[in-house]
C-alpha cells in the first residue's frame, strides 16, 4: 500500500545550498558511466581487446541498475541506500583500476554501471523535499549537474588517461566517489519510504506502465533513438580523432566534450519551451536538429581543420538536441501519474540507456565497416526512426481529437 507523502516538516530539509551539493553529486556519479568512453582506445591497446567491449559494458550495467535498483528508492530510506551504492561504486572503480586482465576489467566496469544510479535516486528525493513552487528550479539544478557530468566526463577521462595512463582516471574517480559518499551521508536528510510494496511489485510496475501508458512508450522510444545516436557519435569519436585521418591524441576528445558542455545551459530554456509549446513540438525540433547534426558531422570525415570545425558544430548541436529531448520527454511522463513518478522514470531511463548501449555498440561497428560516414549515417537513421514515431503519434492524437467531438454530440443527443 502507498504511504502518505512526506510530512510537511521534512520539506525545509532541502536548504538553498543542498540542491547544489546534490547537483554536484549527480554530475560526479554519472561521470563514472561516461569517462571510460574516452579511454576506449587506450584500454583496447593495453589489453588487445576491441574498443566496443571497453566502452559499452558500463553503460549496459547502468541500464540494468536503473531497472533493478532505482525502484528501491520508493521502498527504502534513500540516505543509507545512496551511501551504500556509492561505496560499491568506489570499490568497483578501484577493482577496474587494478584489473590484471580483460575479464576483471569488464566485470568491474559492469558493477560500476549497475551501482552508479545515485542521480536517479536523488532526483525524486529532491522533488519530494521541496514545496511545489521550488520543485521545478530544484530539479532543473540537478539536471544541469547530471548533464554537466555526462559531457565533462570525457574531458576528465581523456586528459588524465593521456597523461598518466588509462588506470589513473579510475583511481581518481574511486577517491572522488568515497568523498562524495561521506558528504552525502552527512548532508542528506532522513526520509521515510514512500510505499510498502514488495520488491517484485515495484519491478513489475515499470513493465506494466510501459504496456499501459502510450505516452511513456513514445517518450522512451524518442529518447532511446536520439540517445543511441548521441552514444554512437561520442564512442566512435575517439577512434576518429586518434586514427590516421586526424592523428591526434585523446585529449582532443576531452576538448570537444568541454565545448559540448555548453549544451547543459539549454536545459532550463527547454523547460520553458515545453511549457509554452508542448513536449511534442520540442521533440520535433530535437529530431530535426539531430538530422541536421548528422549532416554536419559527416563533413568531419574530411580530416582537415574544416573537418574538425564541423565536428565541433555537429557535436554541439547533437548534444543540445539530446538534452532538450530529455527535458521534453520527462515533462511528458511526469504529468501522467504523479503518484508513480519514480517507477515511470525507471521504465523511461532503462529504455533510454539500453538505447545508449546499443548506440555505442552499433557506432563502433559502423566505424569499423564504413568509417566515420557510417557513424553519421547511423545517427541519421535513428533520427528518421524517431521522426516516424513522431508522425505515428501525431496521427493517433488527431484521430482521438476527431473522435471526442463526435462522442460529445452523441451524448447530447442521448440526453
Three cell numbers, residue 108: 568491474
In a domain, 289, yes or no: yes
In a domain, 151, yes or no: yes
Residue 228 has a CB neighbour count (10 Å cut-off) of: 30
b/e string for 297-318 if b means 16 or more Cβ within 10 A?
A: bbbbbeeeeebbebbbbbbbbb
130 closest CA partner among 267, 4, 13? 13
The whole domain housing 264 covers 17-189+197-405
pLDDT, tens only, 18-41: 888 998 999 999 999 888 877 877
How far, in Å, are 31, 125, 326, 344, 357 from residue 267 at the CA level? 18, 20, 9, 20, 23
pLDDT, tens only, 223-276: 999 999 999 998 898 888 888 888 887 677 767 777 766 777 777 677 677 777
Tell me the C-alpha distance between 338 and 237, whole Å: 39
In a domain, 4, yes or no: no
pTM for the model: 0.74
Cβ-in-10-Å burial (0-12, 13-18, 19+) of 338 comes to exposed
In a domain, 410, yes or no: no
pLDDT band at 71 (very low <50, low <70, confident <90, very high): confident
pLDDT averaged over the chain? 83
In a domain, 290, yes or no: yes
In a domain, 203, yes or no: yes
Compute the half-sphere exposure of residue 297: CA atoms within 13 Å on the CB side of its CA: 32
Q: Kindly report the CATH number assigned to the domain that includes residue 252.
A: 1.20.1250.20
The total domain count for the chain is: 1
DSSP for 233-249, please give it.
Answer: HHHHHHHHHHSTTT---
Helix (H, G, I), strand (E, B) or coil at 195: strand
Tell me the C-alpha distance between 405 and 415, whole Å: 15
Helix (H, G, I), strand (E, B) or coil at 2: strand
In a domain, 280, yes or no: yes
Tell me the C-alpha distance between 259 and 66, whole Å: 28
What contacts 267, CB < 8 A, 6 or more positions away? Answer: 140, 143, 144, 147, 323, 324, 326, 327
In a domain, 413, yes or no: no
Amino acid at each position: 500500500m502507498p504511504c502518505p507523502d512526506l510530512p510537511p516538516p521534512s520539506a525545509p530539509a532541502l536548504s538553498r545550498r543542498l540542491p547544489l551539493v546534490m547537483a554536484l553529486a549527480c554530475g560526479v556519479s554519472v561521470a563514472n558511466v561516461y569517462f571510460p568512453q574516452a579511454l576506449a582506445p587506450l584500454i583496447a591497446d593495453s589489453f588487445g581487446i576491441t574498443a566496443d567491449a571497453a566502452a559499452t559494458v558500463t553503460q549496459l550495467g547502468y541500464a540494468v541498475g536503473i531497472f533493478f535498483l532505482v525502484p528501491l528508492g520508493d521502498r527504502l530510506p534513500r540516505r543509507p541506500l545512496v551511501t551504500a551504492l556509492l561505496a560499491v561504486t568506489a570499490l568497483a572503480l578501484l577493482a577496474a583500476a587494478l584489473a590484471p586482465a580483460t575479464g576483471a576489467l569488464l566485470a568491474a566496469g559492469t558493477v560500476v554501471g549497475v551501482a552508479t544510479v545515485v542521480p536517479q535516486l536523488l532526483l525524486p528525493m529532491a522533488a519530494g523535499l521541496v514545496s511545489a513552487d521550488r520543485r521545478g528550479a530544484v530539479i532543473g539544478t540537478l539536471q544541469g549537474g547530471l548533464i554537466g557530468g555526462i559531457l565533462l566526463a570525457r574531458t576528465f577521462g581523456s586528459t588524465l588517461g593521456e597523461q598518466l595512463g588509462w588506470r589513473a582516471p579510475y583511481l581518481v574517480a574511486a577517491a572522488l566517489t568515497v568523498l562524495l559518499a561521506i558528504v552525502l551521508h552527512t548532508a542528506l536528510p532522513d526520509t521515510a519510504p514512500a510505499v510498502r510494496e514488495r520488491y517484485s511489485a515495484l519491478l513489475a510496475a515499470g513493465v506494466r506502465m510501459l504496456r499501459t501508458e502510450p505516452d511513456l512508450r513514445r517518450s522512451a522510444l524518442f529518447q532511446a533513438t536520439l540517445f543511441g545516436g548521441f552514444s554512437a557519435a561520442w564512442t566512435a569519436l575517439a577512434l576518429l580523432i586518434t586514427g590516421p585521418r586526424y592523428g591526434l591524441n585523446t585529449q582532443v576528445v576531452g576538448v570537444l566534450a568541454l565545448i559540448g558542455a555548453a549544451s547543459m545551459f539549454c536545459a532550463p530554456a527547454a523547460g520553458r519551451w515545453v511549457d509554452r509549446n508542448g513536449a511534442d513540438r520540442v521533440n520535433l525540433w530535437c529530431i530535426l536538429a539531430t538530422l541536421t547534426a548528422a549532416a554536419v558531422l559527416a563533413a568531419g570525415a574530411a580530416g582537415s581543420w574544416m573537418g574538425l570545425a564541423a565536428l565541433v558544430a555537429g557535436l554541439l548541436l547533437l548534444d543540445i538536441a539530446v538534452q532538450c529531448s530529455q527535458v521534453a520527454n520527462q515533462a511528458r511522463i511526469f504529468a501522467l501519474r504523479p503518484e508513480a513518478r519514480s517507477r515511470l522514470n525507471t521504465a523511461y531511463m532503462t529504455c533510454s540507456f539500453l538505447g545508449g548501449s546499443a548506440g555505442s555498440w552499433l557506432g563502433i561497428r559502423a566505424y569499423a565497416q564504413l568509417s566515420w560516414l557510417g557513424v553519421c549515417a547511423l545517427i541519421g537513421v535513428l533520427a528518421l526512426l524517431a521522426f516516424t514515431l513522431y508522425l505515428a503519434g501525431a496521427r493517433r492524437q488527431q484521430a482521438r481529437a476527431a473522435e471526442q467531438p463526435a462522442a460529445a454530440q452523441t451524448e447530447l443527443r442521448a440526453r
